[in-house]
Structure 1
Amino acid sequence: DVAWDTIRVPVASNVTTVLLPVDVGTTQLVATTAPPVIVPGNVTINTTSTTTVEVPVVVPTASAIPVGKRDVYLANGFFFLAVLLGLSLLGGQFLKWARVRWLGESGLATTLGLLCGLLLYSLRAETMLEKVLELNEEVFFFVLLPPIIFQGGFCIDTKTLFKNFGTIVWLAVWATLCSFMFIAGAVFLAGQLELCSPWTIHEAMGFATVISATDPVAVLSVLKSLSTAGPLLSGLIAGESLLNDAICLVLYRSLIRWEDRSLVHALQTFIYVFASSCLLGTAFAFVSSLVYKFFPRDNGGNNGGYELASRRLASEEVEHARYERGDQERSAGYGYSVVLEVSVLVLFVWMSYLLAEGLQLSGICAILFCGIFMRKYT
């Protein structure tokens, strides 16, 4: 299992077989044949020439590694990522304990990532390990991003969100669009005036979507440490940041599908995708709330402490009876089950995301609004 690439090489004199390196970026003096005949590790020729020709080169890929060795690379790579994650989490707690004001958790995580990247680069880590740890678009959008967006929507203060929904939408939608158009226009105009490398309008708009997505993690961490910051300001920033991320992702996807059509068509696509995705996520949240109405409630036992206050008010006899009844229902298989509720919750969340992506909508917007309305109604 190999991948083919092509390099341009100058032709030598009367040579029949020459070793050829597998590094695509290098140049090797070889003789030619028409077409070139590839022998593993060599180039075999029939006739010679004096011109520069293109010679295909066999380049090993990650899938060409034996299964056992690839498992070793995977284990080492994910162990390295786990150590990096642990250092980031423990370091963030240490910063809080030591009351370090000049460095936040996000800054620490960024610094650790840069240092580890420089370390791997200086050690010249093997190419196959880099392939295993390579972050592509599919892994980011389908594995890493959905849980983060859902957690942000599910854990947000819905009371503050809905009370100030108009302000948040204004900041997230219209302010983001204004920022997007200003940055895209400025970059495109700078290229036309030869102040920088000239960019097409499509490239300038793609750059603007990336820059317009703000990350309020550092801002929220600072606000939480300030006693003067109330819940209103934190709620506005958190709500705006969530919708801002969703808006920028929809803009990015709309630009990918834009091709050579008009700007008005791209704007129509953006509005349609955003509105449809929000409605789809909201619909899944309401369906999940209806499904949860048929779930049995806990009648005692270890339910995570949800009825701790009521147990304190109940007498010992009533509490003992509730424990026995709960144990009987759980042993019969139709009692309260935390595993079942969590499984159904995750199922509805992923269904909303995957269906939105299958309909060429925005799964991020769908999963965000699904989390928001699940928090309020489920």
Structure 2
Amino acid sequence: MNLADTTNDCKKTVYYEACIPALFGQGCTRFPVTGPCESQFCPRNCTGHGHCEERNLEASCACEAGYTGHYCATQLCPADCSGHGRCHALDGTCDCDKGFGGLDCSQVQCPDNCTHPNGVCDLKTGICTCQTGYSGIDCSHEPKKLYNESWGVVFALSLVGICTIFIYMINLSRFKFLPDSISAIMIGAIVGLMIRIMGVDNKHFIFIRANSIFLFFLPLILFESGYCLKKASFFRNFPTILVFAVFGTIISAMVVGAGTFWLGQQGLVYKLSFLNSIIYGALLASTDPVATLAIFQALKVDHTLYMLAFGESVINDAVSIVLFESILSQYYINQEHHSMAHFPVQFVFTFTASIVIGVTCALFAALTFKHLHLRELSSSPIEISLMLVFSYMPYLLAASMRLVR
């Protein structure tokens, strides 16, 4: 408000009587303005959240930190609610979106039911990891009754039996161009389609936690690949296999990740950050050419070609797991900045430490079997038990050292 627009009493106070000490300049027309005329120049006295000052010969409110508006009546929310909520202008509080909390909505929150004994909340991701038996986003689904689990196991075992018999019949007919893996996928697809058509709730069949897959099933797959390996041919072609497995897996992960990131930027697929795209690429880098190897074996292709493909598939699993875990650990460490500066160091450390653990356990197992003389005692149960322990121990040690998540 211009000084000329004030009331007559205020004009008289300013122009014809002694200047208010806070006013200065010719005719007492300079600001800041205090005293009885302040309400004339800055209406509402800046609502108590600012002071009146001159801007281009006009009186206006200079608001305190956290307030804005012509009268400093609008309160700002902290960090603008971090983009995860709505700001209430009257009191400056944030109404956070679901999954976020805190004064500025910057804290990731898990669902309400994600508490002991139902689940454990990961504060970095807001994901609720359910305890054994519980399921659902908020771990609110109670454990299924024993008979439901039993029927689920019966169903799974029956499906395995059907797949085994079908594969046996295919091999008996000497039909070489239908691999075992494709046969199993076909049976699974048919059974899944039947379940969907019948409208059966698949939640009542069987549930397996993701951690159980990595803790029990993955070690068996890796052990079977290494145990059935023809060592002489494998180590004869080891340098070539290593180039394909290590550099090929890394190149595949980076190409797929960069392609996913670029497609997201173009709006063709779901938009991910660059680091998340690389994590996705590393996840897809683990490829097992099961069908290809089955056809190679049936057609009796060149042994070197078969060993290169088979050896690459064996090491590819380990490399892709290490690659995925290394990038994922960097994501958690640098979740805000998404930096990949330490990724090569993490990858080399994880890869080297895993090899050291495996070799150490193997040497210790060989030394143990050498000095126990189990064959002389005809102790097959003891020998089998020790074999299982030494086979499983390296994986558990790597998992306990967070080399495997």
Please state which band the TM-score falls in when normalised by the shorter chain: 0.5 to 0.7
Q: Is the 8 A contact 1:274 1:362 kept in 2?
A: no
Matched, 1:285 2:357: no
Q: Are residue 107 (structure 1) and residue 162 (structure 2) matched?
A: no
Are the counterparts in 1 of residues 361 and 394 from structure 2 also a CA contact under 8 Å?
yes
Which of 197, 201, 214 is matched with 2:287 structurally?
214
Instruction: Measure how far apart 1:92 and its partner are.
Output: 1.1
| Letter of the 1:109 counterpart | A
Please report the RMSD computed on the Cα atoms of aligned residues, expressed in angstroms.
Answer: 2.0
| Matching residue of 1:305 | none
Aligned residue number for residue 276 of structure 2: 203
Moved more, 118-127 or 77-86: 118-127
* C-alpha distance 79-351 of structure 1, shift in aligned 2 (>3 A): same
Match of 1:173 among 217, 229, 246: 246
**Is the contact made by 2:253 and 2:285 (CA closer than 8 Å) also made in structure 1?**
yes
Q: What's the counterpart of residue 371 of structure 2?
A: 294
Name the aligned partner's letter for residue 314 of structure 2. L
Does structure 2 conserve the Cα–Cα contact (< 8 Å) formed by 1:185 and 1:204? yes
Partner of 1:252: 324
Partner of 1:154: 227
* Aligned-residue offset at 1:226: 1.2
Q: Is the 8 A contact 1:181 1:208 kept in 2?
A: yes
1:177-188 equivalence runs, <5 A: 177-188=250-261
Q: Which position in structure 1 is the counterpart of 2:353?
A: 276
Q: What is the alpha-carbon distance in structure 1 between the residues aligned to residue 296 and residue 202 of structure 2?
A: 43
Aligned residue type for 1:125: V
Select the residue among 48, 62, 66 that pairs with 2:142.
62
The Cα offsets for residues 71-112 of structure 1, whole Å up to 9 and x where unpaired, read as 111111011111111111111111111122342110011111
Distance (Å, rounded) in 1 between the aligned partners of 2:216 and 2:374: 32
The residue aligned with 1:164 is: 237
| Matched residues, number | 263
TM score, norm. by length of structure 2:
0.61
Offset of 1:295 from its aligned partner? 2.6
Structure showing greater relative contact order (alpha-carbon pairs closer than 8 Å, 6 or more residues apart): 1
Counterpart contact for 1:180–1:208, Cα < 8 Å: yes
Alignment deviations for residues 10-37 of structure 1 (CA, whole Å, 9 cap, x no partner): xxxxxxxxxxxxxxxxxxxxxxxxxxxx
2:309 aligns to what?
A: 237
Superposed displacement of residue 144, structure 1: 0.9
* Alignment partner, residue 89 of structure 1: 164
Deviations 1:296-352 (A, max 9, x none): 2546xxxxxxxxxxxxxxxxxxxxxxxxxxxxxxxxxxx121211111011112221
Shift of 1:203: 2.4
1:98 to 169, 173, 176: 173
Mapped to 2, the partners of 1:278 and 1:165 lie a distance apart of 15
Task: Give the aligned partner of residue 121 of structure 1.
Answer: 196
1:255 alignment partner AA: I
CA–CA separation in structure 1 for the residues paired with 2:321 and 2:264: 25
Does the 8 A contact of 1:209 with 1:251 survive in 2?
Answer: yes
Contact 1:188 1:201 in 2 (8 A): yes
Identity of counterpart residues, as a percentage?
26
Contact 2:357 2:394 in 1 (8 A): yes
1:264 aligns with 2:341: yes
Whole-angstrom distance in 2 between the partners of 1:60 and 1:250: 33
Partner of 2:121: none
Bigger Cα displacement from structure 2, 261-270 vs 344-353: 261-270
1:191 corresponds in structure 2 to 264
- Change beyond 3 A, Cα 1:246–1:59: closer
- In structure 2, the gaps of 5 or more residues are 1-137
Q: Which residue of 2 aligns with 1:24?
A: none
Structure number with higher helix proportion: 1
Contact 2:322 2:351 in 1 (8 A): yes
Whether contact under 8 Å (2:176, 2:299) holds in the other structure is: no
Q: How many angstroms does 1:176 deviate by?
A: 1.0
1:113/1:62 Cα in 2 relative to 1: closer, same or farther (>3 Å)?
farther
Match of 1:140 among 213, 238, 248: 213
Superposed, 1:44-63 pairs within 5 Å as 61-63=141-143
Tell me which amino acid in the other structure corresponds to 1:235.
Answer: M
Output the CA distance in 2 between the equivalents of 1:191 and 1:152. 36
Q: Which runs of 5+ in 1 are unaligned?
A: 1-57, 300-334, 364-378
- Report Cα offsets for 1:206-261 as digits up to 9, x if no partner: 2212322111211111111113x132222211111011111111122223212225
Aligned partners of 1:169 and 1:243 also within 8 Å = yes
Aligned twin of 2:150? 75
Alignment-mate amino acid for residue 342 of structure 1: I
What corresponds to 2:393 in structure 1?
A: 351
For residue 123 of structure 1, report the CA deviation from its aligned partner.
2.7
SS of match in other structure, 2:342: helix
Q: What is the rounded CA distance, in whole Å, between the counterparts of 2:295 and 2:177 in structure 1?
A: 10
Matched residues in 2 for 1:62 and 1:112: separation?
A: 31
Contact 2:195/2:202 (<8 A) preserved: no
Change over 3 Å in CA distance of 1:244–1:120 after alignment to 2 = same
CA distance in 2, matches of 1:196, 1:204: 11
